[in-house]
């Protein structure tokens, strides 16, 4: 039976394909539509996932490689508002998400199980472990997938 860490790594590895499949076949108009006013478009969700994963993977690398590194939070709403998410390439965002995960999975699979107990200090929430961050980024994708799937259903009806 696979350990919880092995299962988390496999879930993390599958995330790229999952996100890509979720947006396959949508037009630019559908990707940038706001079917639920006051929330992000599908494109904004995808670009957010690429940005967030980049930050998350950096945090996990720091935990794995350094002793109690400082991990800095960020405001995702400011990123979405100020980093021109609708002007970015969704294909590039998907590729970044997939490649970053695929590359980091190679590292995760080679770490000793004790490495997942290593910790860093997040400036907003305190001590976090490599295992908890891996779980968090798996849950983060699932959280946004629920919204993405709902928005896809809505834009496909229009």
CATH number of residue 115's parent domain = 1.20.120.450
Span 103-132, average pLDDT: 97
Residue 1 has pLDDT above 50, yes or no: no
If pLDDT is split at 50, 70 and 90, which confidence band does 158 have?
A: confident
Four-residue CA torsion sign, 30, 32, 34, 39: positive
Contacts with 137 (C-beta within 8 Å, 6 or more apart), sequence order = 12, 52, 53, 56, 57, 60
Residue 60 has pLDDT above 70, yes or no: yes
Range list of β-strands (E), the chain = 70-71, 119-122, 126-129
pTM given for the model: 0.95
Span 130-145, average pLDDT: 98
Question: Is the separation of the CB atoms in 43 and 32 below 8 Å?
Answer: yes
The beta-carbon contacts of 110-115 under 8 Å, at least 24 apart in sequence, are 111/64, 113/3, 113/5, 115/64
Q: How high is the pLDDT of residue 127?
A: 98
Question: Is the separation of the CB atoms in 131 and 117 below 8 Å?
Answer: yes
Q: What is the average pLDDT score of the chain?
A: 96
Residue 153 has pLDDT above 80, yes or no: yes
Residue 2 has pLDDT above 90, yes or no: no
Residue range of the domain that includes 147: 4-157
> Count of domains in the chain?
1
Q: How high is the pLDDT of residue 120?
A: 98
Give tens-digit pLDDT for 70-85.
999 999 999 999 999 9
């Amino acid at each position: 039976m696979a350990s919880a860490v092995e299962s988390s790594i496999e879930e993390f590895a599958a995330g790229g394909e999952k996100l890509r499949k979720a947006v396959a076949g949508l037009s630019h108009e559908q990707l940038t539509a706001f079917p639920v006013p006051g929330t992000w478009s599908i494109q904004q969700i995808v670009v957010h996932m690429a940005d967030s994963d980049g930050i998350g993977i950096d945090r996990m690398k720091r935990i794995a490689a350094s002793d109690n590194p400082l991990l800095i939070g960020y405001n995702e709403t400011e990123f979405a508002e100020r980093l021109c998410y609708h002007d970015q390439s969704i294909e590039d965002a998907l590729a970044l998400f997939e490649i970053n995960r695929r590359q980091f999975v190679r590292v995760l699979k080679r770490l000793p199980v004790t490495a997942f107990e290593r910790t860093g200090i997040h400036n907003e929430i305190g001590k976090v472990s490599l295992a908890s961050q891996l779980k968090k980024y798996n849950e983060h994708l699932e959280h946004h997938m629920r919204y993405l799937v709902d928005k896809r259903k809505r834009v496909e009806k229009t």
